[in-house]
Chains A and B, each alone.
Chain A
Amino acid sequence: MIEPSDHLFRREAGRMVATLTRIFGVHNLALAEDVVQDAFCRALEVWKFRGVPENPSAWLMATAKNRALDILRRERTARTYAPELGRLLESEWTLAPVVEELFSPRTIQDDLLRMMFSCCHPRLPEEAQIALILHILCGFSVDEVAGAFVSSHTAMEKRISRGKKVLARSKRLFDIASSDEFADRLPAVQRTLYLLFNEGYHGASPETAIRAELCREAIRLATLLRDYPPSSTPATYALGALMCLGAARLPARVDASGDLRSLFDQDRSRWDEELIAEGRRLLDLSATGPELTEYHVEAAIAWVHTTAHGAEDTDWQMIISLYDKLMAIRPSPIVALNRAIAVAQRDGPLRGLEEIRAINNFDRLAGYPFYHAAVGEFELRSGRHEVACEHFRTALQLARNPMERKFLEQRVAACESGRTATTP
């Protein structure tokens, strides 16, 4: 008996909602979600007795299509549907062929893009855009999105339903055929996918499974952008490169005993070579045109790391100059912190501490555990175990999940044993 492939329903949910919303209109998003839910219930009931069909995606899509046709026929006068399709859905002569066409596999990619661009509505804050994309396009439940952001169910439910209201009020889905609007919105979409990836990569979520899934979803959506010529810009390639090169390191971030490993002390043989190769390929493709984006620079930094065997033979000079570029393009305290860590690698911990003290708005880092951990690390390397210990303790109080806690506890222990070792 065939088993449903991993995350089949989650993946299909996004495709089905995107297509159904294209037909029903964005103001009927809830109806589209109901139809998907119906189709899933039906699949569950039928498949558990008769087994998974050979092409489960096609089965689900066909079920959704038939249900959509039912609704369009039955509620023809009670509702208004997508304004773009207007009359075509009103006449029985055109209804079935139009719906058939809209469900054809080659239009689905466009539907997904339309939905992705619609979710990145300028009236929505970035975190709401990411939440909507995860919920609508990636099929994550409210609880799963809340888990990814380490937020409460109620808060996330509010954020998502507010987001859906903004979408519904926008009257129609984003028009990907309008080249001016498309080019205007593209940077926001890239930014949202970047943040989605980062949420997986650096976020607070404790479960490695969730992190890997967020990264995988970001990579999948970035691929959609690359496959559509108007959005396959150098920045989009660079974004894909930085995601692949970053995701390549995920398997080594947690070691066999479940401990968090910093970049300096990862088993690099566990880095994913296929992803590195794909990242390299995309990085090469991104090197056209005059524009140098933050994605180019971040991808380049990730690339430099993949060329070294460890911290000792890493080209820190190159990494520092790339961070300088990044500070010029998109300055932030986090970028400055990472730059300071690179400086410490090149010039020693005291220089690292100087750089950290010089960070503008460093108070914005006060709640970030790895800011305090970095200071602690430099103090420890300078031989000031007690000061280092204090910083690691502060970091420990800010730890966002059990893995971070365990990692920082071990650093505190290292300071303490170091202190006893040096005390005569």
Chain B
Amino acid sequence: MSEFVFLYRGGEAGRSPERVQQSMQKWMAWFKELAQNGHVKDQGQPLERTGKLVRGKQKTVTDGPFAEAKDIVGGYTLIEARDLEQAVELSKGCPILEVEGGVEVRPVMKINM
């Protein structure tokens, strides 16, 4: 098994109460299924969409957001999968895809020593 990080980008803008409800139920069902099949190493955390960016030798501090709203990472999950192909397959069930968001699937680097 290898580890992957799912980064959730964009999605979830102003919607009606019932749509929020449905979205919530879909996310819970999706996480539940992933967990039941032993793919969730760490469900992860939501991230605030604002923050600070510190850069360079000057240590310049600038305000977030750092990217356009649709690209901002809103949370992450640590996933276990056989390979990248399977991880990508798992990400396709993510409800964020239904609201114009995206999932970035990144393999955690393996170090063979």
Interface residues of A (CB under 8 A from B): 1, 3-4, 6-10, 12-13, 37, 40-41, 43-50, 52, 139-141, 143-144
Contact A49 B17 (CB under 8 A): no
Provide the B10-53 mask, 1 if CB < 8 A to any CB of A, else 0: 00111111111101110110011000000000011110000000
B18 vs chain A, min Cβ distance (A): 6
Q: Which residues of chain B come closer than 8 Å to A45, judged between CB atoms?
A: 12, 46, 74-75
A414 vs chain B, min Cβ distance (A): 39
B28 vs chain A, min Cβ distance (A): 6
Contact A141 B19 (CB under 8 A): yes
Q: Give complex CA distance A48, B35 in Å.
A: 13
Q: Which residues of chain B come closer than 8 Å to A47, judged between CB atoms?
A: 24
Q: Which residues of chain B come closer than 8 Å to A43, judged between CB atoms?
A: 20, 24
Q: A45-B75, A49-B43 are in contact. Are A4 and B21 (CB under 8 A)?
A: yes
Which of A1, A7, A37, A48 makes the CB contact (< 8 A) with B21?
A: A7
Contact B17 A40 (CB under 8 A): yes
Q: Give complex CA distance A45, B45 in Å.
A: 9
- Nearest chain-A residue to B18 (Cβ)? A10
Q: Which residues of chain A come closer than 8 Å to B44, judged between CB atoms?
A: 49
Q: Give complex CA distance A40, B31 in Å.
A: 20
Which of B19, B25, B46 makes the CB contact (< 8 A) with A49?
A: B46
Contact B18 A44 (CB under 8 A): no
Which of B43, B46, B77 makes the CB contact (< 8 A) with A46?
A: B46
Contact B16 A143 (CB under 8 A): yes
Which of B13, B16, B74 makes the CB contact (< 8 A) with A141?
A: B16
Q: Which residues of chain A come closer than 8 Å to B24, judged between CB atoms?
A: 4, 9, 43-44, 47-48, 52
* Most chain A CB atoms below 10 A, which of B31, B44, B46: B46
Q: Which residues of chain A come closer than 8 Å to B74, judged between CB atoms?
A: 45
Contact B17 A141 (CB under 8 A): yes
* Most chain A CB atoms below 10 A, which of B16, B17, B75, B77: B17
- Shortest 10 CB-CB distances between A and B: which pairs? A141-B16, A9-B17, A48-B27, A139-B17, A10-B17, A45-B46, A13-B17, A40-B20, A9-B21, A9-B20
Q: Give complex CA distance A140, B43 in Å.
A: 32
Q: Give complex CA distance A6, B21 in Å.
A: 8
Contact A144 B18 (CB under 8 A): yes
Q: Give complex CA distance A46, B20 in Å.
A: 13
- Nearest chain-B residue to A37 (Cβ)? B14
Q: A3-B28, A49-B44 are in contact. Are A44 and B23 (CB under 8 A)?
A: yes
Q: Give complex CA distance A228, B27 in Å.
A: 39
Q: Give complex CA distance A44, B101 in Å.
A: 14
Q: What are 22 sample pairs from A and B whose C-beta atoms fall under 8 A apart? A: A3-B28, A4-B21, A4-B24, A4-B25, A6-B21, A7-B17, A7-B18, A9-B18, A9-B21, A41-B13, A44-B12, A44-B23, A45-B46, A45-B75, A48-B28, A48-B31, A49-B75, A50-B46, A139-B18, A141-B19, A144-B16, A144-B18
B20 vs chain A, min Cβ distance (A): 5
Q: Which residues of chain A come closer than 8 Å to B25, judged between CB atoms?
A: 3-4
Q: Which residues of chain B come closer than 8 Å to A50, judged between CB atoms?
A: 45-46
Q: Which residues of chain B come closer than 8 Å to A41, judged between CB atoms?
A: 12-14, 20
Q: Which residues of chain B come closer than 8 Å to A139, judged between CB atoms?
A: 16-18
Q: Give complex CA distance A45, B35 in Å.
A: 18
* Most chain A CB atoms below 10 A, which of B21, B27, B28, B43: B21
* Most chain A CB atoms below 10 A, which of B12, B24, B32: B24
Q: Give complex CA distance A140, B19 in Å.
A: 10
Q: Give complex CA distance A147, B38 in Å.
A: 41
Q: Give complex CA distance A266, B14 in Å.
A: 43
Contact A10 B21 (CB under 8 A): yes
Q: Which residues of chain A come closer than 8 Å to B15, judged between CB atoms?
A: 40
Besides A12-B17, A44-B24, 4 more A-B contacts (Cβ < 8 Å) are: A1-B28, A4-B25, A140-B18, A141-B18
Q: Which residues of chain B come closer than 8 Å to A143, judged between CB atoms?
A: 16
A378 vs chain B, min Cβ distance (A): 42
* Most chain B CB atoms below 10 A, which of A1, A6, A37, A44: A44
Q: Give complex CA distance A44, B19 in Å.
A: 11
- Nearest chain-B residue to A47 (Cβ)? B24
Contact A49 B12 (CB under 8 A): no
Q: Which residues of chain A come closer than 8 Å to B13, judged between CB atoms?
A: 41
B99 vs chain A, min Cβ distance (A): 10
B59 vs chain A, min Cβ distance (A): 29
Q: Give complex CA distance A66, B31 in Å.
A: 29
Q: Which residues of chain A come closer than 8 Å to B17, judged between CB atoms?
A: 7, 9-10, 12-13, 40, 139, 141
A240 vs chain B, min Cβ distance (A): 25
Q: Which residues of chain A come closer than 8 Å to B16, judged between CB atoms?
A: 139-141, 143-144
